[in-house]
Amino acid sequence: MRRVHLRSLVLISLAVGLWFPLAGHSQNMEEILGIGSGNTAQGPVVRQTVSTSGQDTGDAAVIRAEINALLDEINKLLEEIGKALKDTAGTVTGKAKEAADKAKDKVKETADKVKDKVKETADKVKDKVTGSSSTTYTVRQGDSLWAIAQRLLGNGNRWPEIVEANKSRYPSLAKNPNLIYAGWKLTIPGARSTTGPSTTTPPPTSGTTPPSSSSGESAALNAWKGGKLAPSEFCRLLGPVARESMKVTGVPASVTLAQAALETGWGRATIGDAKNLFGIKGTGPAGSITVKTQEYINGRYVTVNGTFRKYHTWRESIDDHARLLTTASRYRNCMANKSNPDQFARELQKAGYATSPTYASTLISIMKQYNLYQYDK
């Protein structure tokens, strides 16, 4: 009975003193088992022997031997548990890291959504406070971006805002903001309040003429269908329009007139009915036209077929020319010399506007001979 009683006592003590803490407080298991970073690799060791105060004999010696054997088994079991915890620590850490990464991504995603929502709300509040909102404008024939910006935003130089707001719908705007087409529906961000957003052309402000590419043209210029003019008449018709364009874009009116005179032979060759004053190639607001043209290639002039832009009005051609020079990076040095028409002309040639090696000197000669500088004032 003593052997059974003592063995039971040992097991009960172990169960109460070891197992329940392990089961009930698994988060402290390493501390309980003594496998923290400060312990040796051997792990926990239960007292290895049962000592007596004197010489034991008979049943006492047998019991002591059995208890010691049982303690050895317990020590082995504890070592196995400690080893198992160490082996699984990496896995637990890995899973915890994976969960942390997912949580981090989720937090970032939520933060981005909140940021976008805050910006959207801020924009709405700004529109509410300033009394402005986005509206939709249907492009009419002869319109230009700067004219639309002048009308609806109060400043023609704000036309890049219209490009930014509509380039996703009309990708060609990002590549060539000079070209817009009748029927396009443009979002006008921060447009001045009218009678409310509309998908139709907003009415002009009372007492003003609706701005368009034809605004600023005289009746005589509107009636001109092309054809050679005397230099004085050519400048009389186009000079005011070139000056008005200069006020908006900064391109010297003297250079604009000289280029138009040189490219067209004082109006003789405006590329059929294209109303193209500057020989700009590509597709324009009114389409394109293909004609034979002279190009200076490999040291000599050759005749080639060229596709040129077509316009609805003469003003539209001047607007397109100015916008090309102000938006294309290759002409950055030209605009840096906008207060010096002669140097502006030289920079045009350097930028490759024309293939003629005497292009700049010819422009300067025309500006001086006909005093085109007067239109820069």
* Domain region containing 75: 2-105
Q: What is the DSSP string of 117-139?
A: HHHHHHHHHHHHHHTEEEEEEE-
Task: Decide if 139 is inside a domain.
Answer: yes
Contact (CB, 8 A) for 311 and 276: yes
Dist. CA 374–CA 70, nearest whole Å: 114
Q: What is the DSSP string of 249-275?
A: H---HHHHHHHHHHHHTTTT-STTTT-
Task: Decide if 36 is inside a domain.
Answer: yes
| Type of residue numbered 238 | L
CA distances from 271 to 66, 159, 264, 319 (A): 116, 28, 8, 17
Three-class DSSP labels, 63-107: HHHHHHHHHHHHHHHHHHHHHHHHHHHHHHHHHHHHHHHHHHHHH
Dist. CA 123–CA 366, nearest whole Å: 51
Cα–chain-centroid distance for residue 146?
Answer: 23
| Type of residue numbered 367 | M
pLDDT tens sequence across 284-325: 888 899 888 777 778 788 888 888 999 988 998 998 999 899
Note whether 231 and 364 are same-domain residues.
yes
Note whether 40 and 155 are same-domain residues.
no
Note whether 279 and 183 are same-domain residues.
no
Note whether 362 and 236 are same-domain residues.
yes
Which residues of the chain are modeled with pLDDT < 70? 1-64, 66-67, 78, 81-82, 84-133, 141-142, 178, 191-216
Note whether 40 and 167 are same-domain residues.
no
Dist. CA 369–CA 377, nearest whole Å: 17
Contact (CB, 8 A) for 34 and 18: no
Note whether 71 and 138 are same-domain residues.
no
Dist. CA 341–CA 356, nearest whole Å: 19
152: its two tokens: 């609806």
Note whether 91 and 159 are same-domain residues.
no
**Chosen domain end from 105, 139, 164:** 105
pTM for the complete prediction?
0.46
Note whether 186 and 272 are same-domain residues.
no
Contact (CB, 8 A) for 345 and 255: yes
What pLDDT score does 42 carry?
A: 47
Residue 283, domain CATH: 1.10.530.10
**Tally of domains within the chain:** 3
Task: Decide if 225 is inside a domain.
Answer: yes
Note whether 237 and 328 are same-domain residues.
yes
230: its two tokens: 């005397």
Dist. CA 48–CA 262, nearest whole Å: 111
Dist. CA 46–CA 31, nearest whole Å: 15
Q: Which residues of 234-247 are buried (b: 16+ CB within 10 A; e: fewer)?
A: bbebbbbbbbbbbe
What pLDDT score does 76 carry?
A: 73
Task: Decide if 110 is inside a domain.
Answer: no
